[in-house]
Chain A
């Protein structure tokens, strides 16, 4: 209801809200870059610093924000949200917080748009600067790097807080009343970080086998996997690629920086006001534009990387779709082959200790394999070709590691409990030249000694039966000799 609002005021208000939304996104994302922010004060107004605050505009972030807004403004029932999440190098993700810019119906008709509203929006942005350093995600973002990265996602429409877990807290940054509604800025942040306490975030060395720059795509790459959020990192572009972003001139639009101390009827607007160039609407999925563009259908709001099927069509993000499977004992380096089985055979498998593995690899070339205790593997086993345990007569030849693992036997197969192959290693400080067998062999052999005869159930039950049978005879003998027993007892007394 803006019947009391002049067209100029309405136009100004829309512009203020639009740029406030863009600046809000910039502040939030920049606060999660992991670096300290520093901007300079300037006593002379440049005309491009909205709300009289020096907030840099990262072009990629502005582009994403405009794409999410798709030419609309935050309004009643249409909130702009910035979701901050964490993604580990193993592929686990977790939403940390959601910042919401909302509008409700409570109007303040008497407020002056170009003066009071503008100044209050400026104060609200300052509050946002302060609060973004206070929520728990800030500390996490400062430590991001090898182990995890912080991602952001901007969406427009209904606020989604379900991903924040139970017991999330809300902090209200502030409100500004306007003649068309009240602008509210708040943050809902996760408090249950239990998932993360099981992971180690303090590792100093990068995790092996995972390319650390997965998450750092060049800002101008047109093939970025849009089903995941954008990383909160920014490298200043080497060249200004203004053509890649429609409407980039928008960010330099001159803002109203002149105010008047005269009564409202004499107010003037200093400075030039360029026309508002809105980004042509590219509604990808309707008003709720998510960052999902050129990928298989994904549920709205999902931004997590899932294991895309290995197919040629996903060649764009092959480096990403295979990471984070969680299988740490396999180093995968494949491109995107079309046949998964083929792909498996093409792998170079790095095998961890005590894993079910083909005996051929263990015994023959143990020194060349990347085994932790390869040096301790027995070297003198030349007779393994003759050992029926190693190569059972009826096993087919093993062309691929996958098939060999199904027939593998331990070289020291110790009998019924041999579900896994023991790596034959020497215990520390043991010598094998003095005794015919070493400590390990001795231990294994005597791990299952034969049972003691007296403890055998069969024998004990037999003796019990014998005892019972012989009892009447014994009683008869004792009765016969009863006089002797009595005399013995008397003697003792």
Chain B
């Protein structure tokens, strides 16, 4: 089974990074979350209700819709905040990428640990720019708002192709497909990772890997 991979690119000002990432990640998660499953006897289950919330951005002329779940919002905000800090601390160009990966767990026999098989990966490439004056910032507000709108349309287009989705699991398998830790909604199992690109255009992790390989080759 091939993993579906989508890449979105945005160019933003430093103070817009957080909201832009939240907007896109929440839009994706809105489509990849369901209500809580309640399993009954005889193999049936019912699904809870997902509420939605409009969020206005402060630094971008944009409003996005997210799932009405404070727990989920906290988790996403934490990840985005770490990404933003890493971006600003890296100095140099301010280029980075945050990835949202949906995966399924496949139970393995002991001593092997469970396998995580991704079925959809969204990568958001971020390019941070510095602007000189207020007028440019105002234009940037509007432009980034429009760009984010285009990205939302891209996301919706991909999702509505209705390509592979994990089968609805039985009660015993639900934790292999969904994140059941939240009390009000149930997104598909996901993880968020990021990488910062240094000024040479290579990511830090690949540089480290190369160093180690070179060392071992001696």
List residues of chain A with CB under 8 Å of any chain B CB.
36-46, 49, 52-54, 115, 120, 122-124, 126-127, 129-131, 133-135, 138-139, 142, 171-176, 257-262, 266, 268, 270-271
Contacts and interface: CB of A to CB of B under 8 A. Distances in A.
Contact of B31 (A127, A172, A260): A127
B68 A54 contact: yes
Given A41-B184, A173-B160, A133 B63 contact: yes
A42 B152 contact: no
Interface stretch (B4-12, B41-49, B96-104, B203-211): B41-49
23 contacts: A37-B52, A37-B54, A40-B51, A40-B68, A41-B35, A41-B184, A42-B35, A42-B48, A43-B48, A45-B48, A46-B49, A53-B52, A129-B30, A131-B152, A133-B63, A133-B65, A135-B149, A174-B156, A174-B159, A175-B160, A258-B44, A270-B44, A270-B46
Contacts, number: 148
Nearest to A262: B43
B157 A259 contact: no
Contacts of B184: 41-43
Interface in B58-83: 61, 63-65, 67-69
Contact of A138 (B46, B63, B159): B63
B38 interface: yes
Contacts of B65: 129-130, 133
B43 A41 contact: no
Given A45-B48, A259-B168, A36 B152 contact: no
Nearest to B35: A52
Contacts of A260: 42-45
Contact of B153 (A129, A171, A175): A171
A123 B31 contact: yes
Contacts of B162: 120, 123, 176
B34 A52 contact: yes
A202 to B, nearest CB: 15
B50 A268 contact: no
B82 to A, nearest CB: 25
A120 B160 CA distance: 8
B54 A41 contact: no
Given A42-B51, A270-B40, A258 B45 contact: yes
B30 A39 contact: no
Contacts of B36: 43-44
A127 B170 CA distance: 27
A442 to B, nearest CB: 47
B53 A38 contact: yes
B64 A53 contact: no
Contacts of A49: 49
Interface residues of B, number: 45
B168 A261 contact: yes
A43 B46 contact: no
Interface hub of B31, B162, B183 (most chain A Cβ within 10 A): B162
B115 interface: no
Given A257-B47, A259-B45, A260-B43, 16 more contacts: A41-B51, A42-B51, A42-B184, A43-B183, A46-B49, A52-B48, A52-B49, A53-B52, A126-B52, A129-B65, A142-B63, A173-B160, A174-B160, A258-B45, A260-B42, A261-B170
B42 to A, nearest CB: 7
A17 B67 CA distance: 24
A176 B160 CA distance: 8
Q: Which 7 A-B pairs have the closest CB atoms?
A: A174-B160, A39-B51, A36-B54, A54-B51, A134-B149, A41-B51, A41-B184
B27 interface: yes
Interface string B168-185: 111100000000000111
B74 to A, nearest CB: 14
Interface string B1-26: 00000000000000000000000000
B56 interface: yes
B56 to A, nearest CB: 7
Contacts of B50: 41, 52-54
Contacts of B160: 123-124, 127, 172-175
A36 B30 contact: no
A282 to B, nearest CB: 32
A46 B42 CA distance: 20
A202 B62 CA distance: 19
A57 to B, nearest CB: 14
Contacts of B152: 130-131, 133-134
Contacts of B43: 260-262, 266
Contacts of A123: 31, 159-160, 162
Contacts of A52: 34-35, 47-50
